[in-house]
């Protein structure tokens, strides 16, 4: 649709419409890629190496507990990731709510 607007420019606000569509496409691609905080998670893993769960006598796998520092680090990254996801979802909703009906004029 965005490329159609670019190629045919049959709408008076085609440049603005293309920007709106590009913003939504970028946000959708970020959601699909789902790679919001991979660098932060990688640094976290380097700082706190992954611990393997071990099979215990009770028949269950047990993982060593996280330290408070590790838990705080992980939670901080998780909250940041969730905020970025919510931001993209809100942007998509806002664009669709405000502009998508005008794209078809």
Residue 23 near residue 95 (C-beta atoms within 8 A): yes
Residue 17 near residue 103 (C-beta atoms within 8 A): yes
- How open is the CA angle 40-44-48, to the nearest 5 degrees? 175
Q: What is the pLDDT of residues 15-70, one digit of tens each?
A: 888 888 899 999 999 999 999 999 999 999 899 887 777 788 888 887 778 889 99
pLDDT of residue 12: 60
pTM of the complete model: 0.72
SS3 50: coil
């Amino acid at each position: 649709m965005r490329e159609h607007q670019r190629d045919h420019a049959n709408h008076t606000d085609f440049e603005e419409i293309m920007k709106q569509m590009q913003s939504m496409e970028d946000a959708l691609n970020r959601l699909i890629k789902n790679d919001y905080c991979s660098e932060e998670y990688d640094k976290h893993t380097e700082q706190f190496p992954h611990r393997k769960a071990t099979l215990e006598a009770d028949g269950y796998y047990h993982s060593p507990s996280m330290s408070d520092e590790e838990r705080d680090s992980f939670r901080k990254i998780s909250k940041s990731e969730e905020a970025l996801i919510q931001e993209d979802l809100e942007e998509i909703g806002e664009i669709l709510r405000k502009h998508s009906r005008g794209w078809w004029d």
